[in-house]
């Protein structure tokens, strides 16, 4: 029987689901091998039993956490799809400011007060904290990056279909820069998070003349103290460094350990 | 079972095949429609708040994450706003490349919406997947066109989703001319596929429903406005400069709800493909005007379901217009430009047309060049007021004639026709009261 695959979205841009739809060349072949049973962005059906559930987006509210637990309960394998699901992504930066302050900045004081004092708003608007999927349920596999990398998605799906153990080597982005012979961002006079960030993205940002902002998350063996020192030597102030780490890595509290 | 006279509630929770999470709720008592509500249940991500503290070049890069499907549009609107805030000049080459980048996203987004999200309704399928068996040539054509549009974005921006080659003032790494030439050839070769798309859409029977409204879009004296222009409302002759966008959007809070809605000259207005075609039809490429005639789109057109048709018209326009832009770039070549700048204080607004309508971004920077204020007004949040009023007009008219399931389908189709992008709608503050 074909594996039953489902896609679920929480707080995010839905770009990772779009990246799945963007696998045009293999899309039809893929559909020969799996049965897609739930994919709200593209279809109307829903399912009760799932072999592989892909979770996109961060978990921001308790009702979302409940929905996620329900999905986990009916799924055999659960995959965190993209940076929002894996680490909270850019919106986890909101965790450093009180929700009431966000409401005031965006909607004004009157609406902030209404949301906080009228119980009818609480279930949807009680803003807990931006959380990654693994903070709430067990995650079997991770597809990192903002957006996720289509090749990694297809490799994982193929491995899961065939019962093979998926491989995701823990190399920094720098390994891929050297492989593709890209000029180092530091040599261009820029600063970069490539040394401390999970690779697998083909260092696409550096290849396009940009730097790595760490959207794939902190590598387990990364030497954060040395990296901080490097950025400091390149003239970044403590505030600059914290802001850089907080662009994509707020959910991992990157660089927060040395806060005064 | 036609004709509804009883008391009931239709609750379409988490409408499918739209971008983001929204629900529709209808309350009918003794055959009278008491309430039709469009509820936005998407979690708030507070972009306008958490971008504070960021450096100017980080803003477009991060706010592109508001929405995957409109990432290029958010990048461009934010880029223009930041450039205006800092007084940064932009070369004609950069404008040309940005117009192409924007049109590549129009092609990608409109093709996705027409084929994957809208067409299934009209052929009675729950998704595009069953069409693989019943209409394989349609699905293959859709995938072929979508791949071309995605590759077009990737050649320009470095990748399809959240491109990074483009930045403030210009390009970090210029697109490769050979790759642009291949895109030009593929686009020229795809024109027959576009005619087939027109032929399919011609066979679709759209619900016959009209409600007069105001159409708001950019307008430009020299071209069909997608990248630049002033803001035009169809109720008034005089366009408004983009910097005065708050005069247009007039975001307000309803006493009975806390959604921030928009209105300009009347109770609501619409943005998007249908609004643009209505406002600027004479500036469409001649081939696109022919397609509009073929598909029965005559302005003024007040049938919101015709937004699907207007998207097809714009697909044809963008294909032909992009071909001429590509020829200009290929003839003239591209030169490396200095894109450096000095960060500093300032405030600025930027607007572009994105597939779903006019998009405004505004940013302010402090003396250290760090972002200290941000605002974005999203097409879908401007449309929500208009969509709900369409539904309020549609339901009583259709109630005597349609079964509950048919009515549900018509409402979902109406919502999808606007191609709403709810992830984008960071300004929503409405509660779903459904227990």
Domain extent listing, chain B: 47-417
A177: left (phi over 0), alpha (psi -120 to 50) or beta: alpha
B161 touches chain A (CB under 8 A): yes
The verdict on B102 touching A (C-beta cutoff 8 Å) is no
Answer whether residue A39 shows pLDDT above 80.
no
Residue A101 has pLDDT above 70, yes or no: yes
Tracing tokens 């859409």 back to the chain, one arrives at B201
pTM over 0.90: yes
**What pLDDT is recorded for position B418?**
87
Rounded to 5°, the CA angle B281-B282-B287 comes to 85
Determine the Cα–Cα distance for residues B115 and B270; give it in Å rounded to an integer.
23
**CA B9, B14, B18, B21 torsion-angle sign:** positive
How close, in Å, is residue A169 to chain B by CA atoms? 23
Interface of B with A in 266-295 (CB under 8 A): none
| Strand bridging mode B214-219 / B346-354 | unpaired
pLDDT exceeding 70 applies to what percent of chain A? 91
Q: Determine whether the interchain pair B71/A42 forms a contact, defined as Cβ–Cβ distance below 8 Å.
A: no
* Interface contact B50-A97, CB threshold 8 A: yes
User: Which chain A residues touch B48 with a CB distance below 8 Å?
Assistant: 105-106
Q: Does B16 touch chain A (CB under 8 A)?
A: yes
Q: Residue A201 above 80 pLDDT?
A: yes
Please state which of the four CATH numbers 1.20.140.10, 3.60.15.10, 3.40.640.10, 1.10.645.10 is assigned to the domain occupying B47-417: 1.10.645.10
Sheet holding B357-365, edge to edge: B346-354, B357-365, B371-377
Local confidence pLDDT in tens for the 435 residues of chain B: 344 567 777 776 655 555 556 677 778 787 777 777 776 666 678 899 999 999 999 999 999 999 998 999 999 999 999 999 999 999 999 999 999 999 999 999 999 888 887 777 777 777 777 888 888 888 889 989 999 999 999 999 999 999 999 999 999 999 999 999 999 999 999 999 999 999 988 888 888 899 999 999 999 999 999 999 999 999 987 999 999 999 999 887 654 444 567 899 999 999 999 999 999 999 999 999 999 999 999 999 999 999 999 999 999 999 999 999 999 999 999 999 999 999 999 999 999 999 999 999 999 999 999 999 999 998 988 998 899 899 889 888 888 888 878 888 888 888 888 887 654 443 333 333 332
**Under 8 Å CB-to-CB from B266, ≥6 apart: which residues?**
B213, B214, B235
Distances (CA, A) of B173 to A12, A214, B97, B104, B151: 28, 20, 12, 18, 16
- What lies within 8 Å, CB to CB, of A169 at 6+ separation is A199
Q: What is the pLDDT of residue B425?
A: 45
CB atoms within 10 A of CB A77: 16
Among A residues 70-109, those touching chain B with beta carbons less than 8 Å apart? 89-91, 93-94, 96-97, 101-102, 105-107
As a whole number of Å, the CA-based R_g of chain B is 21
Q: How confident is the model at residue A111, as a pLDDT?
A: 78
**Residue A190 half-sphere exposure toward CB, CA atoms < 13 A:** 17
Q: Please write the tens of the pLDDT for every residue from A52-81.
A: 999 999 998 888 899 999 999 999 999 999
CB-CB contact of B310 with B295 (8 Å): no
CB contact under 8 A, B433 and A120: yes
Decide if A68 touches B, using CB distance below 8 A: no
Chain B CB within 8 Å of residue A26 CB: no
pLDDT score recorded for residue B255: 47
What b/e string do you get for B222-234 counting C-beta neighbours within 10 Å, with b at 16 or more?
A: eebbbbbbbbbbb
Task: Give the ipTM.
Answer: 0.93
Please provide the size of chain A in residues: 260
A146 at the B interface (CB within 8 A)? yes
Domain ranges within chain A, ordered by starting residue? 4-91+126-162, 173-247
In this structure, are residues B348 and B363 in contact, taking their beta carbons and an 8 Å threshold?
Answer: yes
pLDDT tens digits for range A171-184: 999 999 999 999 99
Q: In 3D, which of A50, A52, A47 has the Cα closest to residue A74? A: A50
B112 in contact with chain A, both atoms CB, cutoff 8 A: yes
Indicate the range of A160-169, A209-218, B25-34, B398-407 predicted with least confidence: B25-34
B338 and chain A in contact, CB less than 8 A: no
B39 contact A CB<8A:
no
Beta strands B32-40 and B22-29 are antiparallel
Dihedral of CA atoms B397, B398, B404, B410 in degrees, nearest 10, equals -120
Q: For position B82, what pLDDT does the model report?
A: 98
Smallest Cα distance from B237 to chain A, Å = 31
Residue of B43, B115, B116 for testing the chain A interface, max A β-carbons within 10 Å: B43
B48 burial (CB, 10 Å; 0-12 / 13-18 / 19+) is buried
Number of residues assigned to chain B: 435
CA nearest A22 in B: which residue? B147
* Rg, Å, chain A Cα set: 20
Q: What is the C-alpha to C-alpha distance for residues A102 and A108, in angstroms, rounded to an integer? A: 9
The CA–CA distances, whole Å, from B355 to B101, B147, B220 equal 12, 17, 17
> Using H for helix, E for strand and C for coil, what is the string for chain B?
CCCCCCCEEEEECCCCCCECCEEEEEEEECCEEEEEEEEECCCCCCHHHHCCCCCCCHHHHHHHHHCCCCHHHHHHHHHHHHHHHHCCCCCHHHHHHHHHHHHHHHHHHHHHHHHHHHHHHHCCCCECCCHHHHCHHHHHHHHHHHHHHHHHHHHHHCCCCCCCCEECCEECCCCCHHHHHHHHHHHHHCHHHHHHHHHHHHHCCCCCCCCCCEEEEEECCCCCCCCCCEEEECCCCCCECHHHHHHHHCCEECCCCCCEECCCCCCCEECCHHHHHHHHHHHCCHHHHHHHHHCCCCCCCCCHHHHHHHHHHHHHHHHHHHHHHHHHHHHHCCCCCCCCCCCCCEEEEEEEEECCEEEEEEEEECCCCCEEEEEEECHHHHHHHHHHHHHHHHHHHHCCCCCHHHHHHHHHHHHHHCCCECCCCCCCCCCCCCC
* H-helix or E-strand spanning residue A178: helix A173-179
Q: Which fold has domain A4-91+126-162?
A: Rossmann fold (3.40.50)
CA A140 to chain centre: 15
Residues B61/B164, Cβ–Cβ less than 8 Å: yes
Residues of B in contact with A207 (CB under 8 A): 158, 173
3-state secondary structure of A52: strand
B interface test, pick of A6, A16, A18, A182 with most B CB neighbours within 10 Å? A18
Nearest to A208 among B173, B423, B433 (CB): B173
Token duo for residue A43: 């279809």
Peptide bond into B300 cis (omega under 30): yes
Q: In what order do the strands lie in the sheet with B230-233?
A: B230-233, B214-219, B269-270
Q: Is A39 helix (H, G, I), strand (E, B) or coil?
A: strand
What is the C-alpha end-to-end distance of chain B, expressed in Å? 27
Cβ distance of A101 and B49 shorter than 8 Å: yes
Mutate to test the interface with B, among A5, A20, A22 (most CBs of B within 10 A): A22
Backbone angles phi, psi at A156, to 5 degrees: -65, -45
Yes or no: say if B121 and B406 are a contact pair by the CB < 8 Å rule: no
Interface membership of A158 toward B (CB under 8 Å): no
Identify the pLDDT of residue B139.
86
B50 vs A90: CB contact, 8 Å cut-off? yes
User: Which segments of chain A are extended strands (E)?
Assistant: 4-9, 35-39, 50-56, 75-81, 141-143
Are the Cβ atoms of B42 and A21 closer than 8 angstroms? no
**Residue B184 near chain A (CB below 8 Å):** no
A48 sits in the region (left: phi over 0; alpha: psi -120 to 50; else beta) called: alpha
Q: Give the one of B14, B55, B162 whose C-beta lies nearest to A147's C-beta.
A: B162
Question: What is the average pLDDT across A231-255?
Answer: 89
- For chain B, say whether A201 makes contact (Cβ under 8 Å): no
């Amino acid at each position: 029987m074909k594996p039953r695959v489902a896609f679920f979205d929480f707080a995010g841009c839905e770009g990772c689901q779009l990246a799945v739809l963007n696998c045009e060349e293999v899309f039809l072949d893929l559909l020969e091998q799996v049965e897609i049973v739930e994919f709200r962005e593209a279809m109307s059906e829903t399912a009760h039993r799932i072999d592989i559930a892909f979770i996109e987006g961060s978990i921001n509210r308790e009702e979302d956490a409940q929905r996620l637990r329900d999905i986990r309960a009916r799924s055999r394998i659960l995959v965190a799809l993209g940076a929002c699901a894996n680490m909270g992504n850019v919106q986890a930066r909101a965790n450093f400011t009180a929700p009431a302050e966000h409401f005031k900045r965006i909607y004004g004081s009157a609406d902030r007060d209404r949301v906080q004092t009228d119980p009818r708003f609480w279930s949807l608007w009680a803003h807990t904290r931006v959380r990654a999927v693994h903070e709430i349920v067990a995650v079997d596999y991770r597809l990192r990056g903002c957006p996720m990398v289509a090749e990694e998605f297809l490799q994982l799906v193929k491995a899961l279909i065939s019962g093979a153990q998926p491989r995701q080597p823990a190399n920094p982005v720098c390994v891929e820069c050297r492989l593709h012979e890209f000029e180092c961002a530091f040599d261009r006079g820029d600063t970069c998070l490539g040394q401390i960030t999970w690779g697998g993205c083909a260092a696409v940002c550096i290849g396009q003349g940009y730097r790595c902002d760490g959207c794939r998350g902190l590598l387990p063996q990364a030497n954060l103290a040395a990296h901080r020192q490097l950025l400091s030597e390149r003239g970044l102030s403590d505030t600059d460094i914290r802001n850089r780490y907080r662009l994509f890595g707020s959910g991992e509290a990157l660089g927060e350990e040395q806060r005064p | 079972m036609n004709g509804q006279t009883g008391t009931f509630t239709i609750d379409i929770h988490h409408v499918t095949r739209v971008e983001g999470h929204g629900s529709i709720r209808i309350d009918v008592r003794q055959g009278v429609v008491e309430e039709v509500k469009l509820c936005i249940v998407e979690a708030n991500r507070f972009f306008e708040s958490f971008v504070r503290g960021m450096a100017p070049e980080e803003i477009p890069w991060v706010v592109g994450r508001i929405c995957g499907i409109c990432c290029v549009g958010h990048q461009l609107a934010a880029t223009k706003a930041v450039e205006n805030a800092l007084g940064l000049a932009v070369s004609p080459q950069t404008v040309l490349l940005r117009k192409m980048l924007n049109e590549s996203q129009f092609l990608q987004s409109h093709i996705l919406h027409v084929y994957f999200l809208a067409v299934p309704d009209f052929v009675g399928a729950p998704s595009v997947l069953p069409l693989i068996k019943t209409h394989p040539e349609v699905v293959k054509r859709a995938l072929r066109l979508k791949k071309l549009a995605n590759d077009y974005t990737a050649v320009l921006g470095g990748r399809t989703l959240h491109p990074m080659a483009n930045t403030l003032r210009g390009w970090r790494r210029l697109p490769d001319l050979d790759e642009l030439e291949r895109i030009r050839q593929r686009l020229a070769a795809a024109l027959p596929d576009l005619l087939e798309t027109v032929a399919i859409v011609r066979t679709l029977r759209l619900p016959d429903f009209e409600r007069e409204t105001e159409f708001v879009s950019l307008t430009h004296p020299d071209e069909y406005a997608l990248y630049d222009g002033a803001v035009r409302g169809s109720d008034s002759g005089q366009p408004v400069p983009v910097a005065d966008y708050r005069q247009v959007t007039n975001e307000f809070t309803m006493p009975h709800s806390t959604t921030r809605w928009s209105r300009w000259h009347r109770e609501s207005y619409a943005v998007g493909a249908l609004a643009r075609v209505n406002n600027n039809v004479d500036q469409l490429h001649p081939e696109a005007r022919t397609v509009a005639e073929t598909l029965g789109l005559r302005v003024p057109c007040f049938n919101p379901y015709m937004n699907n048709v207007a998207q097809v018209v714009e697909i044809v326009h963008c294909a032909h217009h992009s071909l001429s832009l590509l020829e200009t770039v290929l003839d003239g070549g591209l030169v490396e430009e200095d894109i450096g700048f000095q960060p500093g204080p300032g405030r600025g607004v930027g607007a572009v047309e994105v597939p779903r309508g006019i998009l405004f971004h505004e940013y302010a920077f402090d003396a250290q060049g760090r972002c200290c204020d941000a605002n974005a007004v999203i097409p879908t949040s401007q449309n929500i007021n208009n969509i709900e009023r369409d539904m309020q007009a549609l339901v009583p008219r259709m109630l005597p004639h349609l079964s509950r399931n048919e009515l549900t389908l018509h409402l979902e189709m109406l919502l999808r026709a606007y191609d709403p992008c709810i992830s984008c709608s960071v300004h929503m503050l409405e509660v779903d009261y459904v227990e």
